[in-house]
Amino acid sequence: MSEEKTTKQILEEKLKARKRTPLYNPELLQNLAKDFETWKNSVVPEEDRKNWEVIPRTILGSEIPRGLLYTPLEVADLDYTEDLGFSGAEPYTRGLHANMYRGRVFTMRQLSGAGSPSYINQRIKWLLGAGATGINLALDLATVQMYDSDEPEAKGQVGTVGVPIDCVEDMDVIFKDIPLDKVSASIVTHYPRNTAILFPMYLVLAEQRGIPWDRLNGSVQNDFVMENLVRNAAEYIPPRDAFRVQCDNIEFLRKNVPRWNYITLNGYNLREAGTSGVTEMAVAMANGIEILKEMSRRGYDADWVAQRMAFFWAPANDFFEEVARLRAARRLWYRIMKYRFGAKNPRSMWERCHVQTSGISLQRVEPMNNVIRAAYHALAAILGGCQSLHVDSYDEAYSTPSEEASLLSLRTQQIIEAETAITQVVDPLGGSFYVEALTNEMERRILDEIDEIERMGGLVKAIESGWLHRRIANHIHREQRLIEQGVIKVVGRNYYQNPEAKEPEVKVHQYSEELRQEMCAKLERLRRERDNEQVNCALKALKEACQKGGNVMQYCLEAARAGATEGEMRRVFTDAFGTWRPPVYI
Amino acid sequence: MTEARRIKVLLAQFSLETHSRGIITVAGMLRDSGMEVVYIGNNTPEQIMEAAVHEDVDVVGISSYCGGELALGKDLIEEAKKRGVKDRMVFLMGGIFPPGDEPKLREIGFDGIFAPGATKEEIASFIEKAVATKGRS
């Protein structure tokens, strides 16, 4: 084992060396402490004095105890410059940009829904027409798992929860009449392999339309945590290889598609699978740290690499915790970049994030209540200073959102933006004793968990060992029991139930077998018309790159140009790396 | 009547399913209700039924969130019939699917259908009754 210091040790040393100037006068604080005790013992009811701290029990909450009232005493050592600063300035706690939403409102990026490539093209245009400002392309199950529409495993699942993409032609249909150099497109590719396979199809499409890659703008997910921890399937590659593919993609994109966010460190789906907001951020940041270490082994400067790293978070029910967490993540990532990696470019110190409101927090019973839940989640995200937002729809517990539900989600964002005036002042909750104390606590806990992961030998090992899989299973069981016992209150489900509640009329997405037939016919035609010799050569070269260490995305690009399909490329990866079954904990 | 044995449940998902929170939740509920749970993760209908027969279970439970519940559900029941266990095992489907699919799933041969929010009591008591009715010795 190397004697390398952990991120926490490095930050502690570097931060200790910095001079701190407390905002609050220590003498006044002493007097305040006395007054506080007097007040507490004379005015506060005995019951509340005894139970001064309560633990909030919420779905996906981190259960940090909360006092009855927060005063400067909880943030006695607050140093304004060191801990908060101004917006758009170090340590970025108050926001990445000086003018925040006055300068640019968060990108309204609703997921594109489910159906055929041509339907999704219509739906994207409709969303943009209704005021959405970014594209968020959701893939169907077969595409996420990298199967062609005509493989037997894809039966019944083509076009169900997103759009099917087998080849460049599908990409062309999805983005018909959409100017690739003018829109910001998030392509929800999930895994590194999926990114290596699908994103080159987007690049080939840009080539065909004569658009230089340096004018493309958007993001892919490209997160090995999705493949090896969050999702499950019968055919995954080992974590170490998935991590390598993730870094190959980063290397290729950073060099060739400079405005593209090459990774969306996905805390969201990990949280939704079953973890606290602390673990969500710790795992995503631990991945970010390992990426920068690996890229530096490959000879790249962390300050250059990190400029296009993006994060993805899930704000759930514990409102102030969510606001505090988003603030804490910005400060912590800044500190990691500055003190652990010596970054000098502000852009690489920015923790830029897309936020999607929590789906797990939504309920099937009385689904219209979900409109209210999602609006509070969105409010927390905006008060926390997110860059981009998707609001979940009320019908999530029934189906992929209908157009009507999707529009309501977009309207939720627009109402917050245009009618509540909360976007006019930057970081409006900054300086609240409560929010600042909670921000400190969240930052501390996230760093502690990053430390735990690093002491285990890093994130790849923490995943290989099943430690995180077990943690998720334990979280799920515990949370379920707390709901059963009524400790976690869920309105309509275990609290204020309505025995007369009827199953509502929810318009849902219907599966279409014809779509699968169309996709199969297209694949048949493609395989007939393309130069199969060229495809086989490209796939063979890809396999060699996997085994011998060339950048896999470069070879996937050649395969995509030759007309290779998603499933054909998946099989090459699995042949080259072998399969890995995640540890099963229930 | 032989001595009552613990009800044994096999839980699985179809090959491509990406969500596991639902099935892990149900596994915990059934274990808390005193049942024996075998979870085999993602598999084809054929592999699932092979495991069900091998493990000699009373109940087969499938979790589906991304479609495929009808097409692959049908394949699963066909496999069960082929192996002659359709009448002695109880078949359950849970997850997120359109309400309209519920009657179709029953028609295919699923005994119980559960949506998010189903309670431990609902699921466990359904299983106990269904296992008793299917007349396992």
Of A160, A364, A396, the CB nearest to B67: A160
Long-range CB contact pairs, A237-241, < 8 A, 24+: A237/A193, A237/A573, A237/A574, A237/A577, A237/A578, A237/A579, A237/A580, A238/A464, A238/A577, A238/A578, A238/A580, A239/A460, A239/A463, A239/A464, A239/A580, A240/A460, A240/A464, A241/A546, A241/A577
Whether B25 sits inside 8 A of A397 (CB atoms) is no
Asked whether residue A277 carries a pLDDT value surpassing 70, the answer given is yes
Confidence of residue A510 (pLDDT cuts 50, 70, 90): confident
pLDDT, tens digit, 9 for 90 and up, residues A218-264 = 999 999 999 999 988 767 999 999 999 999 999 999 999 999 999 99
Provide the pLDDT confidence category of residue A582 given band limits of 50, 70 and 90.
confident
Report d(CA B126, CA A508) in Å as an integer. 27
Distance from CA of A137 to the nearest CA of B (A): 16
**Torsion-angle region of A148 (φ positive above 0: left; ψ -120 to 50: alpha; else: beta):** beta
Burial code (b: 16+ CB inside 10 Å, e: under 16) for B47-61 equals bbbebbbeeebbbbb
Cβ A317 vs Cβ A490: under 8 Å: no
Does B41 contact A at CB distance below 8 Å? yes
- Does A399 sit within 8 Å of B97, measured CB to CB? yes
- Tokens, residue A201: 């199809």
Cα Rg, chain B, nearest whole Å: 14
Q: What percent of chain A has pLDDT over 70?
A: 99
CA separation, residue A5 to residues A9, A12, A193, A298, A455 (Å): 6, 11, 31, 20, 9
Contact residues, chain B, for A506 at CB < 8 Å: 99
- H helix runs in A76-152, sequence order: 100-103, 117-129, 141-144
Out of A234, A399, A493, whose CB is closest to B96?
Answer: A399
CA distance A504 to A501: 8
DSSP annotation string for A459-495: HHHHHHTTHHHHHHHHHHHHHHHHHHTTSS--BTTTB
**B13/A contact by beta carbon, under 8 A:** yes
Instruction: Decide if A249 contacts A553 (C-beta within 8 A).
Output: yes
Q: Smallest CA–CA separation between A409 and chain B, in Å?
A: 20
Taking contacts as CB-CB distances below 8 angstroms, the residues of chain A near B27 are 586
Q: How far is Cα A434 from Cα A48, in angstroms, rounded to an integer?
A: 18
Q: Does B97 touch chain A (CB under 8 A)?
A: yes
**pTM, 2 dp:** 0.95
B100 to A508: CB separation less than 8 angstroms, yes or no:
yes
Provide, as residue numbers in chain A, all residues whose Cβ is less than 8 Å from the Cβ of B97.
Answer: 399
Interface pTM, i.e. ipTM: 0.89
Q: Looking at residue A125, what is its pLDDT?
A: 96
Residues from chain B contacting residue A189 (CB–CB below 8 Å): none
Q: Give CA A537 to chain center in angstroms.
A: 36
Question: Six-digit token pair at B17?
Answer: 């399913």
Report pLDDT digits (tens) over A447-476.
999 999 999 999 999 999 999 999 999 999
Strand partners, A388: A107, A354
Residue A348 has pLDDT above 90, yes or no: yes
User: What are the structure tokens assigned to A586, written together?
Assistant: 């229930």
Q: What is the pLDDT of residues B28-87, one digit of tens each?
A: 999 999 999 999 999 999 999 999 999 999 999 999 988 889 999 999 999 999 999 999
Contact list, A398 vs chain B (CB under 8 Å): 96, 98-99
Judging contacts by C-beta atoms under 8 Å, the chain A residues touching residue B18 are 141, 144-145, 231-233
Q: Which of A153, A272, A511 sits opposite B15 (nearest CB)?
A: A153
Average pLDDT, chain B: 92
Of B19, B23, B96, the CB nearest to A397: B96
Of B17, B18, B119, the CB nearest to A484: B119
**Spatial contact of A29 and A20, defined as CB atoms under 8 Å apart:** no
CA–CA min distance B1, chain A (Å): 32
pLDDT at A472: 94
Count of other CB atoms within 10 angstroms of residue A539: 21
Q: In a mutagenesis test of the B interface, which of A230, A362, A480, A512 is the best target, namely the one with the most B β-carbons within 10 Å? A: A480
- Which chain A residue shows the shortest CA-CA distance from B70? A156
Cα Rg of chain A, angstroms? 24
In 10 A of CB A498, how many CB atoms? 10
DSSP chain B: -PPPPPPEEEEEEETT----HHHHHHHHHHHHTT-EEEEEEEE-HHHHHHHHHHHT-SEEEEEESSS-HHHHHHHHHHHHHHTT-TTTSEEEEEE---TTHHHHHHHHT-SEEE-TT--HHHHHHHHHHHHHHTT--
pLDDT number for residue B137 = 45
Please report which confidence band the pLDDT of residue A500 belongs to, taking 50, 70 and 90 as the band edges.
Answer: confident
Burial A3-27 (b: 16+ CB within 10 A, else e): eeebbbebbeeeeeeeeeeebbeee
Of A141, A364, A472, the CB nearest to B66: A141
Per CB-CB distance under 8 Å, the chain B contacts of A161 are 65-67
CB A264 within 8 A of CB A223: yes
Tokens 């994130």 map to which residue?
A459
Task: For residue range A113-169, list pLDDT tens digits in order.
Answer: 899 999 999 999 999 999 999 999 999 999 999 999 999 999 989 998 899 999 999
Residue B94 confidence (pLDDT): 95
A2: pLDDT strictly greater than 60: no
- Judged by a CB distance cut-off of 8 A, whether residue B37 touches chain A is yes
Calculate how close chain A gets to B21, using CA atoms only, in Å.
6
Q: At A567, give phi and psi (nearest 5°).
A: -65, -35
User: What is the chain A residue with the closest CA to B75?
Assistant: A155
Residue A571 contacts by C-beta under 8 Å, 6 or more apart in sequence? none
Pairs from A204-208 (Cβ < 8 Å, separation ≥ 24) = A204/A168, A204/A171, A204/A557, A204/A560, A204/A561, A205/A168, A205/A171, A205/A172, A205/A175, A205/A180, A206/A180, A206/A181, A207/A561, A208/A168, A208/A172
What per-residue confidence (pLDDT) applies to B136?
Answer: 54
A263-266 and B90-95 beta bridge pairing: unpaired
- The most distant pair of C-alpha atoms in chain B lies apart, rounded to whole Å, by 42
* Residue B1 pLDDT: 41
Q: Mean pLDDT of all residues in chain A?
A: 95
**A525/A530 Cα distance (integer angstroms):** 9
To 10 degrees, what angle do helices A239-256 and A277-297 make?
A: 70
Instruction: Give A476-488 pLDDT, tens digit per residue.
Output: 999 999 999 999 9
pLDDT of residue B46: 96
Q: Give the single-character DSSP code of A213.
A: G
Cβ neighbour number for residue A397 with a 10 Å cutoff: 19
Decide if B70 touches A, using CB distance below 8 A: yes
Contacts of B19 in chain A (CB under 8 A): 231
pLDDT of residue B135: 60
Check if the beta carbon of residue A427 is closer than 8 Å to that of residue A436.
Answer: no
Asked if A367 and A506 touch (Cβ cutoff 8 Å), the reply is yes
Adjacent-strand bridge partners of A187: A137, A220
- B68/A360 CB distance under 8 A: no
Q: Say whether residue B43 is in contact with chain A using an 8 A CB cutoff.
A: yes
Neighbours of B75 (CB within 10 A): 21
Q: Is the pLDDT assigned to residue A505 strictly greater than 80?
A: no
Phi, psi (deg, nearest 5) at residue B31: -65, -45
Mean pLDDT along residues B112-121: 92
| Smallest CA–CA distance from A153 into chain B, residue | B15
The runs of H, that is alpha helices, within A113-238 are: 117-129, 141-144, 168-174, 192-208, 224-225
Choosing among B18, B33, B35, B69, which should be mutated to test the A contact, i.e. which has the most A CBs within 10 A?
B18
- Residue B3 pLDDT: 52
Distance between A549 CA and the closest CA of chain B, angstroms: 28
Q: Which of A570, A91, A44, A171 lies closest to A338 in space, CA to CA?
A: A91
Q: Which of A73-87, A503-517, B7-21 has the lowest mean pLDDT?
A: A503-517
Subunit contact A153:B17, Cβ cutoff 8 A: no
- Cβ atoms of A305 and A349 within 8 Å: the answer is no
- Whether residue A586 and residue B71 make contact (CB cut-off 8 A), yes or no, is no
pLDDT of residue A1: 46
B51 interfaces chain A, CB cutoff of 8 Å: no
- Mean pLDDT, rounded, for A254-282: 96
Give pLDDT tens digits for A65-123.
Answer: 999 999 999 999 999 999 999 999 999 999 999 999 999 999 999 999 899 999 999 99
Residue that the structure tokens 């964002």 belong to: A413
* Phi and psi, residue A252, nearest 5°: -65, -45
Cβ atoms A282, A234 nearer than 8 A = no
Peptide linkage before A428 cis (omega within 30 of 0): no
Q: List A163's β-bridge partners, or say none.
A: A139
